Amino acid sequence: MSVIVEKLTKRFTAGGSPAVADVSFEAPTGAITTLLGPSGAGKSTILRLIAGLETSDTGRVLIDGTDCTELPVQQRGIGVVFQSYALFRHMTVRENIAFGLSVRRQSKAEVEARVDEMLRLVQLEELGQRTPAQLSGGQRQRVAFARALAIRPRLLLLDEPFGALDTRVRVELREWLHELHTLTGVTTLLVTHDQEEALEISQHVVIMSEGRVAQAGAPADIYDRPATPFVASFVGGNSMLKGQVREGRAEMGALIVAAPQSAREGQAVQAFVRPHDIKLAKKPAGNGLNGNAAVRVERLKSVGGYVKVLLKLPNGDTVAVEVPRGEFEELGVVEGDSVHADVRSARVFVGDFSI
């Protein structure tokens, strides 16, 4: 039951810039695919176009090879969960879950059996008679999942389903969704702006920026090989450094890394460096490309098991480094000290882009 989105374009205002511009991607059968991007990137609009809640200007949506572009919402066989619970306040949990089933003209016994099954699936067997007001936020979202899955959808669409919950519950439910998906195997399209959520629970990620697809691929692919400066800046907590190609290397102030093969002498470069890809030392390490780069420790912040070190380069650029706490204690530096920084890996783009 794969979903193929083909050249979808949607403008809300005539002549304005499109909310969704020429978007194509595939969500593989049985997988969780994530649409990841900043607010306003067009993610929700794509989901609404697939669900049939909006009409596209051009393009097609194919579900399992069938063109659904003209099909009414109810006939698409899609379950939807939004950020806000959208449960019926005056109905019990059972009635909420049964809602889509009653519309589909099933016998009362069939409906009751399916509701029981769904309550077990989302582990809320005891709470069927409660109303939404008597549930926690996380429980309400589980009811929303039960209601979406009750109709045996071909496709599950989730729009920031954990966005309104606090961090702890959000992380718990992320794990829960992973297990739920293992049980149901329903092809799922999840919208989120949270890269951790995307990289952790999906098999396929589509990165969106300004209505367009910036990159699509497996989470590891996107993390290790961002295709554009935008993707590199959005995923992986990178610091961006500007510099120049000199003698076949990318020099960003005091920091030096290998330049791409295509780079020519004197070209501008942008390098993206991950916080754990810089090795700090009190003394020059003497190995690597830039074992001798001395930089200033601008700020230190202890966060859980590691210390965030903000470095200031001679040219004024700043770089964030994360050092495991034990390693940091061995390093023994304080704010204002000079340290030697060795960039172990960086993603370098040739050209002076704006992101």
The partner in contact with residue 163, picked from ligand ADP, Mg ion, none with C-beta cut-offs of 5 to 8 angstroms by kind, is none
- # residues near ligand ADP by CB under 6 A: 10
Q: For residue 52, state whether it binds ligand ADP (rule: CB under 6 A).
A: no
Residue 353, token pair as written in the block: 């882009």
Q: For residue 252, state whether it binds ligand ADP (rule: CB under 6 A).
A: no
> Quick one: which of 6, 22, 26, 40 contacts ligand ADP (CB under 6 A)?
40
The DSSP symbol for 153 reads: -
> Quick one: which of 42, 100, 161, 226 contacts ligand ADP (CB under 6 A)?
42
The partner in contact with residue 42, picked from ligand ADP, Mg ion, none with C-beta cut-offs of 5 to 8 angstroms by kind, is ligand ADP
The partner in contact with residue 269, picked from Mg ion, ligand ADP, none with C-beta cut-offs of 5 to 8 angstroms by kind, is none
Q: How far is the CB of 17 from ligand ADP (least distance, A)?
A: 8
Q: How far is the CB of 349 from Mg ion (least distance, A)?
A: 28
Q: Which residues, listed in sequence order, are joined to residue 125 by a DSSP beta bridge? A: none
Q: For residue 192, state whether it binds ligand ADP (rule: CB under 6 A).
A: no
Q: How far is the CB of 204 from ligand ADP (least distance, A)?
A: 18
Q: Where are the beta strands (DSSP E) in 32-132?
A: 32-36, 58-63, 66-67, 78-81
Residue 29, token pair as written in the block: 């059968």
In which order are the strands placed within the sheet that holds 268-273?
A: 255-258, 249-252, 239-246, 268-273, 347-350
Q: For residue 19, state whether it binds ligand ADP (rule: CB under 6 A).
A: yes
Please give the Cα distance from 222 to 48 (Å, whole number): 25
Chain residues binding Mg ion by CB under 5 A are: 44
Cα angle 133-138-144, degrees, rounded to a multiple of 5 = 75
Q: Which residues, in sequence order, are CB contacts of 11 under 8 Å at separation 6+?
A: 17, 18, 19, 57
**C-beta closer to ligand ADP: residue 14 or 183:** 14
The partner in contact with residue 237, picked from Mg ion, ligand ADP, none with C-beta cut-offs of 5 to 8 angstroms by kind, is none
Q: 250: left (phi > 0), else alpha (psi -120 to 50), else beta?
A: beta
Please give the Cα distance from 1 to 30 (Å, whole number): 7
The partner in contact with residue 161, picked from Mg ion, ligand ADP, none with C-beta cut-offs of 5 to 8 angstroms by kind, is none
Q: End-to-end alpha-carbon separation of the chain, Å?
A: 36
The partner in contact with residue 40, picked from Mg ion, ligand ADP, none with C-beta cut-offs of 5 to 8 angstroms by kind, is ligand ADP
Q: For residue 12, state whether it binds ligand ADP (rule: CB under 6 A).
A: yes
Instruction: With beta carbons less than 8 A apart as the criterion, state whether 47 and 157 touch.
Output: yes
**C-beta closer to ligand ADP: residue 44 or 202:** 44
Q: How far is the CB of 287 from ligand ADP (least distance, A)?
A: 44
Please give the Cα distance from 230 to 207 (Å, whole number): 10
Q: How far is the CB of 79 from Mg ion (least distance, A)?
A: 18
Q: Which residues, listed in sequence order, are joined to residue 51 by a DSSP beta bridge? A: none
201-240 footprint of ligand ADP as x/- string (CB under 6 A): ----------------------------------------
Instruction: With beta carbons less than 8 A apart as the criterion, state whether 216 and 280 touch.
Output: no
Q: How far is the CB of 247 from ligand ADP (least distance, A)?
A: 43
Count of CB atoms situated within 10 Å of the CB of 21? 17
**Residue numbers at the binding site for ligand ADP (CB under 6 A):** 12, 19, 37, 39-45
